A and B are shown apart, each in its own frame.
Chain A
């Protein structure tokens, strides 16, 4: 006969899934991704201070179109004699600025609207999320293309300045990212708003705005961060797409996208000129996607909510 097990005094504390996930290390791939992105941010920030060749005007003294490791040019130069390294570094600064600006813009607005829609719920929430769905139905690249060509038309006489052009591109792409971020934020805010601690805060007299910002938002940040990282990756790709249509930053200013685009007609002649920025794009997009996934897993962001 089996014996009755003695009553245990106190059951051990339930181990929290989140707690365990937090304790797990990041893994080598994630660290490599962070390392790569760290380098990119460093290059972007210090582009104008680094002892680089002129990225816009080539030197006539050079032999144009040489490939790698020619003296003074690690990545060679292009047919106009411009140093590829200098161009890709300045391009990094442009591409990352566009990505950061647009996703920052999208996160701020999309996050705020999503938070309100998720917390307030009811008819307002439904109306807002119907709006996101409509916005999401537009093909993003087409929308961005239209916006850029409307907001910043390139006329022969008056080409827009680099900064203005960058802001327009960032705004156009950011607009596209608003509904995506709004949606994820709303879904998460909705599920967190129904948690008991929100009711508890309410029963202590906290005002709705305060509850949204102090109780709900901090819990939604991981989901937003995860989507924002994936969003940055998409923006880098979308910028490349815009460049193909000549709608990213104006040549001769370099960005990753238009360095590649400048070579699409003639991929074979000076392959290093498009391969180098392509590798930068590829590694950055990979790293951002990977970190997005890491954030999602670590904070147990629920797939269903995404």
Chain B
């Protein structure tokens, strides 16, 4: 249903060209969920906005994006308006800023209903009511007449989801839908998204910096680093035989239940590279515990190695003899490599 091929997005800035997304490809079918995972700043949101065609004016994109066979990666934004809301829509990270502070939430739901489906006010109100109850909001009649500031964070995000679902999109982007929320309501919102996705048989792209969030929920996971996809696999495969050192580091940094949701990736030191001048060779090399001389010179290609459907880009993958040897070498114990032949 969605076919993304070698998509690149860059921003013109005073510092130079920021290559926020640098050659990402994947496909997504109806009813499937793709988890997009990576540290903050690695281009996840830009990727979603690129596919949606919601980029600011200083951005340029290239590559092919096919939605149900139709190319939507072109330069024209005008025809995207027909897709927004009815074909694809988006749940934003912070429901406080994604809801209009001076418009009643009921109005915000009916607005797009009436605009797209050209229905009567009564019908739109009725639909809004049903939507609110379907996203688990008690007393929907009362809530319809409230403003965003009168609601709790979890409630606002439910409203946001109701708005996104209003016109029955075939594809839903959820960009860190729980990052701004309290830990206790995060799971509820994720469950709600999952339930709605299954019920409506939508395709969903679930963006998060937390591998734990997508663990039980995504069919496939794509790990992004510095604007590139560096490992992609069916969820179970990824967790059972992850190959990329960055994925491993992400897994080690999954926030434990009693930690705040914003914990930095401190299992590995350093910061993601500058996207204006990314390092030559593997972009993760400066931070990678496995890195060898080759990594700094030659960029590893993203490709299928052993298991079909499991792609990764690394010269010394985790859990392989080469990887083990490289790690051992870096830890200063050459010759005692573990992992056999």
Contact = CB atoms under 8 A, between A and B. Distances in A.
Nearest to A216: B100
Chain B CB count within 10 A is highest, among A7, A200, A210, for: A200
Interface stretch (B85-93, B274-282, B293-301, B316-324): B85-93
Contact of A195 (B90, B97, B160): B97
B339 interface: no
A82 B116 CA distance: 65
B65 to A, nearest CB: 15
B57 A121 contact: yes
Contact of B97 (A196, A202, A219): A196
Interface in A193-221: 195-197, 199-207, 210, 214-215, 218-219
A204 B112 contact: yes
Contact of A218 (B97, B102, B153): B102
B74 interface: no
A18 B101 CA distance: 10
B100 A215 contact: yes
Contact of B92 (A200, A206, A214): A200
Contacts of B54: 199, 202-203
B103 A214 contact: yes
B103 A205 contact: no
Contacts of B258: 7
B58 to A, nearest CB: 9
B149 A199 contact: no
A161 interface: no
Nearest to A194: B56
B152 interface: yes
B97 to A, nearest CB: 4
Interface in B295-336: none
Interface string A119-146: 0011000000000000000000000000
Nearest to A13: B152
A197 B99 contact: yes
A11 interface: yes
B191 interface: no
B81 A207 contact: yes
B94 interface: yes
A197 B97 contact: yes
A205 B112 contact: yes
B141 interface: no
Contacts, number: 81
Given A11-B182, A214-B111, A215-B100, A200 B90 contact: yes
A97 to B, nearest CB: 31
B112 A206 contact: yes
Interface residues of A, number: 27
Contacts of A266: none
Given A219-B101, A219-B102, A200 B184 contact: no
Contact of A200 (B102, B152, B153, B163): B163
A121 B83 CA distance: 24
A204 B182 contact: no
A157 interface: no
B115 interface: yes
B6 interface: no
Contacts of B81: 205, 207
Contact of A205 (B102, B115, B149, B153): B115
B92 A13 contact: no
A204 B89 contact: yes
Interface in A225-273: none
A156 interface: no
A214 B111 CA distance: 10
A255 B155 CA distance: 56
A204 B163 contact: yes
Interface string A5-41: 0010111010010110000000000000000000000
Contacts of B167: 204-205
B149 A18 contact: yes
A204 B94 contact: no
B166 interface: yes
Contacts of B166: 204
B266 interface: no
Given A197-B99, A214-B111, A203 B184 contact: no
A202 B55 CA distance: 11
A89 to B, nearest CB: 38
Chain B CB count within 10 A is highest, among A122, A199, A215, A218, for: A199
B328 to A, nearest CB: 38
Nearest to B52: A203
B84 interface: yes
A195 B94 CA distance: 11
Contacts of A207: 81, 115
B99 A200 contact: yes
A19 B100 contact: no
Nearest to B99: A197
Given A19-B149, A215-B103, 15 more contacts: A13-B153, A121-B57, A199-B98, A200-B99, A201-B112, A202-B54, A203-B85, A204-B111, A204-B163, A204-B166, A205-B85, A206-B111, A207-B81, A214-B111, A218-B100
Interface of B: 52, 54, 57, 81-86, 89-90, 92-94, 97-103, 111-112, 115-116, 149, 152-153, 160, 163-164, 166-167, 182, 184-185, 258
Q: Sort A-B residue pairs by CB-CB distance and give the 10 closest, nearest first.
A: A205-B85, A205-B84, A204-B112, A196-B97, A204-B85, A196-B98, A200-B98, A218-B102, A203-B90, A197-B100
9 contacts: A10-B185, A18-B101, A19-B149, A199-B92, A200-B99, A200-B163, A204-B111, A214-B111, A219-B102
